[in-house]
């Protein structure tokens, strides 16, 4: 009985994607952490040093906002690199940080535009009683993968993402919400631990930010799963259609 319940729990349409996401992360944690360490920690150091001096030395408001701007502009590069890394891992090919970052850099403009367009649409949707925003979020969640792996333009990537997620919209929403709760809960516990142990210093802030980026990379893994499944489903449908056409052709 308990075994049956466990299987049902694992096969739940919300739980299953998360289990597969965490399993993938655990299996390839070394690759993911290594890439994100080299790709993001230097920028994290710069951001935190600027923030530290801006707070303690009353820098102009424009300077104090610089870390946010830097992160906003750099995030598409390392996200693109991470997507490329995942694609290499899936097919069992070697990778290196430089190659991944160059791919992300090459897609930077399109990824940035995708982020801006999708963010604006999601925000507008959230203002319209939240649900439309979640719906838009799910429908556009694979656009970055279309940019990096399929080399599509921002509009094409968003359009294709909308098409790819048509049958899994609510699954993406539910899985993403549950994953967000888990990660935010862990982030809260981490913050409480830092405050309780009086570890509030520049180095701790930098390490914490790196850890948070690593943890939230599980979202990229989750969406990569849906992207990969959508491609496999599409390919399977295409193959079945070709087989049917072949049979019809032979039957004439």
User: Mind listing the pLDDT tens digit for each residue in 147-159?
Assistant: 999 999 999 999 9
User: What is the helix (H) or strand (E) element at residue 226, kind and residue range?
Assistant: helix 202-251
Residues in the chain: 252
8 A C-beta contact, residue 150 and residue 112: no
Examine residue 97 and state whether it is found in any structural domain, yes or no: yes
Quick count: other Cβ atoms within 10 Å of Cβ 225? 19
- Report the predicted TM-score, pTM, of the whole model to 2 decimal places: 0.90
Tokens of 134: 């979640």
Distance of alpha carbon 8 from alpha carbon 70, whole angstroms? 45
Q: What mean pLDDT, rounded, does the chain reach?
A: 89
Examine residue 249 and state whether it is found in any structural domain, yes or no: no
Mean pLDDT computed over 117-121: 96
Tokens of 6: 């466990």
Tokens of 250: 């032979």
Overall domain count for the chain: 1
Tokens of 192: 């409480």
Examine residue 236 and state whether it is found in any structural domain, yes or no: no
Q: 230 falls in which pLDDT band (50, 70, 90)? A: very high
Distance of alpha carbon 226 from alpha carbon 222, whole angstroms? 7
Examine residue 237 and state whether it is found in any structural domain, yes or no: no
Examine residue 120 and state whether it is found in any structural domain, yes or no: yes
8 A C-beta contact, residue 64 and residue 79: no
Examine residue 84 and state whether it is found in any structural domain, yes or no: yes
CA distances, 237 to each of 17, 30, 226, 229 (Å): 22, 35, 16, 12
**Residue 12: per-residue pLDDT:** 74
What is the domain extent for residue 101? 2-230
């Amino acid at each position: 009985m308990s075994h049956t319940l466990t299987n049902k729990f694992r096969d739940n349409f919300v739980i299953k994607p998360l289990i597969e996401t965490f399993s993938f992360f655990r299996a390839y944690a070394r690759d993911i952490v290594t890439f994100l360490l080299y790709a993001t920690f230097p920028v994290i150091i710069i951001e935190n040093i600027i923030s530290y001096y801006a707070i303690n030395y009353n820098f102009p408001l424009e300077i104090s906002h610089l870390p946010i701007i830097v992160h906003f502009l750099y995030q598409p590069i390392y996200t693109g690199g991470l997507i490329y890394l995942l694609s290499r891992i899936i097919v069992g090919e070697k990778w290196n940080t430089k190659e991944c970052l160059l791919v992300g850099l090459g897609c930077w403009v399109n990824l940035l535009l995708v982020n801006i367009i999708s963010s604006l649409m999601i925000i507008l949707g959230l203002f319209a009683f939240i649900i439309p925003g979640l719906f838009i979020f799910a429908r556009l969640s694979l656009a970055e993968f279309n940019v990096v792996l399929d080399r599509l333009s921002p509009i094409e990537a968003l359009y294709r993402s909308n098409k790819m997620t048509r049958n899994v919209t609510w699954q993406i929403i539910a899985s993403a919400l549950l994953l967000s709760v888990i990660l935010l809960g862990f982030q809260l516990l981490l913050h409480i631990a830092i405050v309780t142990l009086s570890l509030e210093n520049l180095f701790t802030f930098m390490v914490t930010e790196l850890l948070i980026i690593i943890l939230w990379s599980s979202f990229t893994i989750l969406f990569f799963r849906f992207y990969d499944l959508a491609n496999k489903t599409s390919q399977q449908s295409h193959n079945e259609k070709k087989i049917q056409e072949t049979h019809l052709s032979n039957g004439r």
